[in-house]
Amino acid sequence: MTEIPKNHPRYESLMVREQIAAGVEKGITSSQGLIAQGRGEAFDYLIGEKTIDSADYAEAVAVCLLLLAENPVISVNGNAAALAPEDLVMLAQLTGAKLEVNLFHRTEERVKKIIGTLKESGADVVLGENAEPLLPLDHERAKVEREGIYDADVVFVPLEDGDRCKALTDMKKLVIAVDLNPLSRTAQTAHVSIVDNLKRALPNMINMIPDFRNMEEEDLWEIVNAYDNNVVLVDAVETIKENLTAKQNELLGIVEDSDKKDGKPGRKEPKKQARIQRDPEIARKVMMRGGDLMME
Amino acid sequence: MTEIPKNHPRYESLMVREQIAAGVEKGITSSQGLIAQGRGEAFDYLIGEKTIDSADYAEAVAVCLLLLAENPVISVNGNAAALAPEDLVMLAQLTGAKLEVNLFHRTEERVKKIIGTLKESGADVVLGENAEPLLPLDHERAKVEREGIYDADVVFVPLEDGDRCKALTDMKKLVIAVDLNPLSRTAQTAHVSIVDNLKRALPNMINMIPDFRNMEEEDLWEIVNAYDNNVVLVDAVETIKENLTAKQNELLGIVEDSDKKDGKPGRKEPKKQARIQRDPEIARKVMMRGGDLMME
């Protein structure tokens, strides 16, 4: 591992890269996974490297769905396992979801290693070794476990391939995706698209669970039914455009309004602690803003 | 290497990834390089996976600078060598530039392998093995060759680290960077920032050389002096914003104007063949558009 000087302006981001590169050495992450990580980084930079309100809202709806599901499954690939194994296990345990290792670049060895990593992080049972080609896709990518993803009603897929996401929705499963690119086929195909970094999304979702766990099913359904994924995606794209405009203004030496003066995108303000379950105002604002964008 | 099904909607992009992943196996590309590739892919997607007019303009100015230079050097890293070794060698030969291998994650073994790759691609001399810590940076990243980058007046750095780009400009060298992220520190620090995919930029630059090679130095300087890098960067960001707006409209089901109706960003039109040396109108348009953006 190359030593990154602490005074490098992108020290933190470079360190995450080292972590995921370590995942490759352990045999958990594929080299394709590194490229996917890079794409995610670019979009994370553009959304400001923080959980935006519309992503926070999508995360709340995702928690509701996982709690409502009969047979929820969390699909785990190499990048997810390298980035946040403990949080994946905790989310599964707190929502009663099964964990299933499911790889685009599948090898039995990597499946085994990822299962091992999840078990080291506290998981009891991890599906994936007994996968059969049950999805309507070419052989290797079609593989899922019958009692896992195949039978699931809600599937949580961090960092998924667009084709497989579509195969799952075609099978009438409700799909929650985590994808920093709001324009990806995955983001546009999933029912709930979380445009956020997995490393921020998972702890945020875990923190929300106590507030939702004791709610009536009826109330959870109300939150789910009010959700419009397109509004959330349009809002994420709008955030990127706003951040780009701020950058253009910097390039042109234009000073921003006083309420934004003190920061660049991503450093504008500390992450808001308010969440939808405590503050339904956020959901209202997101929907309002989305509505305004739709009117334009 | 995993076989990618030909019917996958991102087949071409996935194949380029396989090529760069092969570079890792050969020991040319670092795993960090794969992440950088991914970030580049994201921005390439956002600019529409084509050479936009302002990038074409920057490429023309870069060719002028390389032809005007007394001691031009093309800096080569692992990704550049994996993606376009022949074109790097050809650009060096046609502009009289030296080639120097210069790595962020430097190991002597990788330097040797990349030199080997460039020699296999037709290079006679490739600098880089005798690098000394001559830049004002921490030890490993400071290494350049005295008769290469250290003595250069113009340095062409595809896919460079922001710190090193700044170190070079601080040493009063003219720096040409290739970086798909118009907001990167590299793009903002270089004198000429080419916001384009290296695999498109190099052939385009090579094709331009015959037209510029016989021009008077005075005329080349005129083109260089008229150039404003900030305008080019603002234009690239504007292109991304326009493509994002088009995507938002798709999400919202809004049909675009008739002149744009038939396509998505990146597939809107075949790549324009007109180039600045044949059509100075492009440079004028870019500057005009940039000027308009600055007025807004």
Q: How close A229 gets to chain B, by Cα (Å)? A: 10
Asked if B32 has any chain A CB less than 8 Å from its own CB, the reply is: yes
Closest residue by Cα to residue A99 from A51, A132, A66: A66
pTM of the model: 0.85
Taking phi over 0 as left and psi of -120 to 50 as alpha, with beta for the rest, B196 belongs to: beta
pLDDT score recorded for residue B162: 82
B154 bridge partner residues? B72, B174
Amino acid at B114: I
pLDDT score recorded for residue B216: 94
Query: Does residue A265 surpass a pLDDT of 50?
Result: no
Cβ pair B42:A37 closer than 8 A: no
Does residue B59 or residue A14 have the better pLDDT?
A: B59
* CA separation for the pair A29, A81 (Å, rounded): 8
* CA separation for the pair B230, B192 (Å, rounded): 9
pLDDT score recorded for residue B271: 37
Helices (H), chain B: 11-26, 31-47, 53-68, 78-83, 85-95, 108-120, 162-170, 185-189, 198-213, 217-226, 229-252, 281-295
pLDDT score recorded for residue A50: 95
* CA separation for the pair A40, A182 (Å, rounded): 11
**pLDDT tens sequence across A200-248:** 999 999 999 998 999 999 999 999 999 999 999 999 999 999 999 999 9
Chain B hits for A247, Cβ within 8 Å: 183, 237
B80-113: burial string, b at 16+ Cβ within 10 Å, e else: bbbbbbebbbbbbebbebbbbbbbbbbeeebbeb
Cβ pair B42:A234 closer than 8 A: no
Q: In what order do the strands lie in the sheet with B174-178?
A: B98-101, B72-76, B154-158, B174-178, B192-194
Asked if B136 has any chain A CB less than 8 Å from its own CB, the reply is: no
pLDDT score recorded for residue A280: 64
User: Is the CB of residue B179 less than 8 Å from the CB of residue B187?
Assistant: yes
**pLDDT tens sequence across A65-78:** 999 999 999 999 99
Q: How many beta-carbon contacts under 8 Å exist across A and B?
A: 120
Taking phi over 0 as left and psi of -120 to 50 as alpha, with beta for the rest, B166 belongs to: alpha
**Closest residue, chain B, to A7 (C-alpha):** B138
Does residue A15 or residue A221 have the better pLDDT?
A: A221
Nearest to A35 among B8, B38, B43 (CB): B38
| Joined tokens for residue A266 | 């991503």
Domains and CATH numbers, chain B: 53-228 (3.40.50.12640), 253-295 (no CATH)
Mean pLDDT of chain A: 86
Asked if B163 has any chain A CB less than 8 Å from its own CB, the reply is: yes
Asked if A209 has any chain B CB less than 8 Å from its own CB, the reply is: no
User: Is the CB of residue B151 less than 8 Å from the CB of residue B134?
Assistant: no
pLDDT score recorded for residue B117: 95
pLDDT score recorded for residue A268: 39
CA atoms within 13 Å, Cβ hemisphere of B289 = 18
Query: What is the mean pLDDT of each successive set of 10 residues along chain B, which is 296 residues long?
Result: 65 74 85 88 95 95 97 95 94 98 90 96 96 86 92 92 88 95 94 96 96 93 93 95 94 66 43 46 69 59
Cβ pair A39:B36 closer than 8 A: no
- How many angstroms separate the most distant Cα atoms in chain B? 59
**pLDDT tens sequence across A138-171:** 877 889 999 999 999 999 999 777 888 899 999 9
pLDDT score recorded for residue A258: 47
